[in-house]
Amino acid sequence: MTVKGLKLHSLNSSDDVPGLVKVVPTSVAVGSGSGSVDSNGNITFSGASSVSINGCFSSAYDNYKLLFYCNAASATANINFRFRTTSDDTGTNYYAASDGVNWSNSGVNNNAVTQSSFTVTRAVISDPGYTSFNYDCIRPNVGTYSTLLGGQSMGIVGGPAHNHGAFWSVTATQFTGFTIYPASGNIGGTIRIYGYSQ
């Protein structure tokens, strides 16, 4: 459909939006609890000590959007992120720089180097629904140091309410997936992954 020279896209059952195509991972594995992905790429998990998403990054897209929403947490804890191929990259290959504003309206900043994971947000046991993130994942499957994870996390009670950060890995590997895990306890929620169309 075209309106005054503009081509309009309609959403289909796979929830594609203009410029983004939902990715269907090959599998989801959890350290405990349950996790699954349906035929439309909708990932859900509950009671999970870790959530590993396999086969979501490939040469089909250079860049991706990652959307995470937490609806349950058994403990107040940081949510960490690692890239993976057949297993997690657990080396001290992760770097981060971030700034945020906490509930008292004071600034928070953090710079971390040679870490074994990214801290991408924080789950709060009393109100897990505030925990989410929206990150652009840049060139994870290219196999160069330009693999970047950047965007914002939000909903950290007692810490940054909104946190904007850039996170990057110096591992020159063609990553095919990632793992999200709380520093303690377990979490429930959803993940959606989109590829940026060329």
**Cβ neighbour number for residue 170 with a 10 Å cutoff:** 14
Residue 12 lies in a domain: no
Closest CA to 163 of 141, 131, 197: 131
DSSP β-bridge partners for residue 42: none
What is the extent of the structural domain holding 148?
Answer: 19-90+118-156+172-196
* pLDDT tens track, the chain, 198 positions: 443 433 333 333 445 555 899 999 999 999 999 999 999 999 999 999 999 999 999 999 999 999 999 999 999 888 899 999 999 999 998 888 777 666 565 556 667 778 899 888 888 787 777 788 888 998 999 888 646 555 555 555 555 556 666 777 888 889 999 999 999 999 999 999 999 986
Q: How many domains does the chain have?
A: 1
Domain of residue 145, CATH code: 2.60.120
Q: Is 0.75 topped by the overall pTM?
A: yes
Residue 163 lies in a domain: no
SS3 129: helix
Residue 188 lies in a domain: yes
